[in-house]
Structures are given as structure tokens and as C-alpha cells.
């Protein structure tokens, strides 16, 4: 196990993604906000707001450690009780101005819990998912084909397994609807040796830019009206609900005394809720619910 290799990769990944997103935006630049955590570790939050394409985007690197895990973590994994922990990762959320450009999320992370005299307990996690407001079939196929390509060298069944996990994980239970069109989600990954698990995490991390940028480039100049923005902001409310109620990374960060400003950077700048709103039958907005949010095999022609 080589923690330094993982750390170096994650720091470089943050830089690579920020550079690609700045090129996409054309005007905006990420500000750097380095921080330290009193209990141990720190990180660097990089945020772009009010760009030409990106309304709000955050790409966060964190490397934190502590003497013990929160009760929520050890309840599910009792073997971790009494162990110190170290967690590192890159997470991002991009909220574009244009309602025809999807919101996207990506996260890759490494976790290790150690105790003197015992073998370390380690695993990798991560994935990426897409949240369109107005769906395009070719965008969804491209997103999922790129996800498939990232998984394929590690086994033919991995894409199906981690796509299904993503569909299940990003399901908003209290609404009984999907957050978006999915992608990949994996956690507790230690089924292979360290080298192979790390290589898989890198494959997923490296796939984000080729998965998202072609979609954003294609849609960023799509004409839109005020009604499209209103629907975008309404659907962003679902994003907020999921992150604050269910998201593992958000809950872990808050429960371990993480930096709140960095943890909640995923929330959009402009969002709205309307009581018992329903899309008009046959509208573009209804099509999102009927054609895109239900679980689909996006690679089937």
C-alpha cells in the first residue's frame, strides 16, 4: 500500500480538471482556498463562480485524518472501532448557467484505518453521475459509453455492477425518483490488490474530463428562455435534498468536523422549490420524468 502515490495522483487530478474546466468556461478562473483541519489534515478548495459557462463549480481536494471514526461509520463497520483513520479524495460538482448543460458530479477517494499490530483496513471509492434538466439521448449515451470504457479493462461485468449501484444510490427515496441519469458509483473497493484497485480509481478519475466536456461544449450555447431557467432551479432543489439528506461524503464530512464551507460547496447558487408543482403533459419538462429519469440501459441502441 502506497498512500503517497494516491495523494500525488489526487492533487494532480484536481489541477488537470480545473484547467480543463477553465478552458471550457473561457472567462472564469478557479480561486484557491487552502485550509487546515484542527483534528488533522486539510485540503484545497477550488471554486469558480459566475463564469461565462459555469455558474458555480467546485473542485475540492482533501486529506484528513483522526484518532477515531464517528459512530455512524463504526456502526456499519464495527471492525473499524478503535482505529485511527486517514481519508483523501477529490470531489467536484459543476452547475452551469445554461439549463441545457447538465450538472455533473465526480468523486474519487481512498480511505485507510489503522491500528498498531493489525493489518490496515483500506478501500477506494468514487464514481461520476450526470444530472440533466433537459435530456438528450446522445449525451446520455456518450456519458455511459465513457463510463463503460473506464471499467472495461478491469472486467466485463464491472460497468453493469457499478451503474446499477449508481442508479440505486442516487435515488431520492422520499421523492421516489432519480436525481439524474446515473453513471458509476463504487465504494469499499478492495476486491483486488492495492495496485489494481488504485488503477481502477485512476481510470474513473481520468474518465471525467472526456465524459463531461464534449457534452458541455455541445450545449453551452443552446438558446434558452426564462421558463427553462425556472425549471432548472426547481430541479436543483432535488440536488440539494439528496446531498443534505443522503450523500455519504456530505454526512461523513460534517460528522468528522470537516470544513463546512468546502463540504457544502456542491450546493447551487440559485435554487427554488414550488409547492406540488407538476410538469405540463407533453412538455419538454415532462419528458425528463418520462424518458430520462427512469432507469435505462443507455448503451442499448
Q: What is the pLDDT of residue 301?
A: 63
Residues annotated catalytic, as ranges: 105
Residues within the annotated binding site?
A: 91, 95, 105, 107-109, 144, 174, 257-259
DSSP code at position 124: E
Q: Where are the beta strands (DSSP E) in the chain?
A: 31-36, 41-49, 54-66, 84-96, 103-114, 121-131, 171-172, 177-178, 182-189
Bigger pLDDT: 166 or 263? 166
Q: What is the pLDDT of residue 82?
A: 81
Bigger pLDDT: 30 or 66? 30
Residues within the annotated binding site for substrate?
A: 91, 107-109, 257-259
Q: Is 276 exposed, middle or buried (0-12, 13-18, 19+ CB in 10 A)?
A: exposed
Query: Between 1.20.5.510, 3.30.465.10, 3.40.1500.10, 1.10.3720.10, what CATH number should domain 3-292 receive?
Result: 3.40.1500.10
- Percentage above 90 pLDDT, the chain: 76
pLDDT digits (tens, 9 = 90+) for 230-243: 999 999 999 899 98
Q: What is the pLDDT of residue 194?
A: 96
Helix (H, G, I), strand (E, B) or coil at 56: strand
Cα–Cα distance list, 95 to 27, 40, 98, 216, 236 (Å): 15, 30, 9, 11, 9
Bigger pLDDT: 239 or 287? 287
Q: What is the pLDDT of residue 250?
A: 81
pLDDT digits (tens, 9 = 90+) for 38-52: 888 999 999 999 999
Residues within the annotated binding site for a divalent metal cation?
A: 95, 105, 144, 174
- The residues near 153 (Cβ < 8 Å, ≥ 6 apart) are 203
The answer to whether 10 and 87 have CB atoms below 8 angstroms apart is no
Q: What is the pLDDT of residue 66?
A: 86
Q: For the ranges 68-77, 143-152, 243-252, which has the lowest average pLDDT? A: 68-77
Nearest Cα to 208, choosing from 61, 7, 5, 21? 21
Q: For the ranges 88-102, 144-158, 191-205, 253-267, which has the lowest average pLDDT? A: 253-267
**Range from 110-124, 243-257, 279-293 that averages highest in pLDDT:** 279-293
The whole-chain average pLDDT of the chain stands at: 93
pLDDT digits (tens, 9 = 90+) for 1-11: 799 999 999 99
pLDDT digits (tens, 9 = 90+) for 109-139: 999 998 888 888 999 999 999 999 999 999 9
Q: What is the pLDDT of residue 254?
A: 79
- Judge whether residue 106 has pLDDT over 70: yes
Q: What is the pLDDT of residue 227?
A: 96
Q: What is the pLDDT of residue 73?
A: 67
pLDDT digits (tens, 9 = 90+) for 173-230: 999 999 999 999 999 999 999 999 999 999 999 999 999 999 999 999 999 999 999 9
- The residues near 205 (Cβ < 8 Å, ≥ 6 apart) are 9, 10, 13, 90, 106, 108, 126
- Judge whether residue 295 has pLDDT over 90: yes
Nearest Cα to 97, choosing from 217, 232, 208, 212? 232
Nearest Cα to 94, choosing from 258, 224, 209? 209
Q: What is the mean pLDDT of residues 151-177?
A: 96
**Range from 15-24, 235-244, 268-277 that averages highest in pLDDT:** 15-24
- Break the chain into its structural domains and give their ranges: 3-292
Amino acid at each position: 500500500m502506497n498512500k503517497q502515490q494516491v495523494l500525488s495522483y489526487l492533487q494532480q487530478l484536481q489541477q488537470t480538471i480545473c484547467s480543463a474546466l477553465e478552458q471550457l468556461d473561457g472567462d472564469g478562473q478557479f480561486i484557491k482556498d487552502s485550509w487546515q483541519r484542527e483534528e488533522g489534515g486539510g485540503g484545497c478548495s477550488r471554486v469558480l463562480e459566475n463564469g461565462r459557462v459555469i455558474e458555480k463549480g467546485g473542485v475540492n481536494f482533501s486529506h484528513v485524518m483522526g484518532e477515531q471514526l464517528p459512530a455512524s461509520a463504526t456502526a456499519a463497520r464495527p471492525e473499524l472501532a478503535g482505529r485511527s483513520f486517514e481519508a483523501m479524495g477529490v470531489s467536484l460538482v459543476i452547475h452551469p448557467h445554461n439549463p441545457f448543460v447538465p450538472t455533473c458530479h465526480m468523486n474519487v477517494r481512498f480511505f485507510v484505518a489503522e491500528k498498531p499490530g493489525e493489518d490496515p483496513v483500506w478501500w477506494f471509492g468514487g464514481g461520476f453521475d450526470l444530472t440533466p434538466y433537459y435530456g438528450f439521448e446522445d449525451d446520455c449515451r456518450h456519458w455511459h459509453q465513457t463510463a463503460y470504457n473506464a471499467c472495461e479493462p478491469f472486467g466485463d461485468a464491472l460497468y453493469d455492477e457499478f451503474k446499477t449501484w449508481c442508479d440505486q444510490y442516487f435515488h431520492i427515496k422520499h421523492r421516489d425518483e432519480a436525481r439524474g441519469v446515473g453513471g458509476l458509483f463504487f465504494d469499499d473497493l478492495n476486491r483486488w490488490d492495492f495496485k489494481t484497485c488504485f488503477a481502477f480509481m485512476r481510470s474513473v478519475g481520468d474518465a471525467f474530463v472526456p465524459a463531461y466536456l464534449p457534452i458541455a461544449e455541445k450545449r453551452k450555447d443552446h438558446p434558452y428562455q426564462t421558463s427553462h431557467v425556472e425549471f432548472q432551479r426547481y430541479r436543483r432543489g432535488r440536488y440539494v435534498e439528496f446531498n443534505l439528506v443522503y450523500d455519504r461524503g456530505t454526512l461523513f464530512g460534517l460528522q468528522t468536523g470537516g470544513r463546512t464551507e468546502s463540504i457544502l460547496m456542491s450546493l447551487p447558487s440559485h435554487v427554488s422549490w414550488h409547492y406540488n408543482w407538476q410538469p405540463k403533459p407533453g412538455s419538454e419538462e415532462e419528458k425528463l420524468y418520462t424518458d430520462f429519469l427512469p432507469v435505462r440501459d443507455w448503451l442499448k441502441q
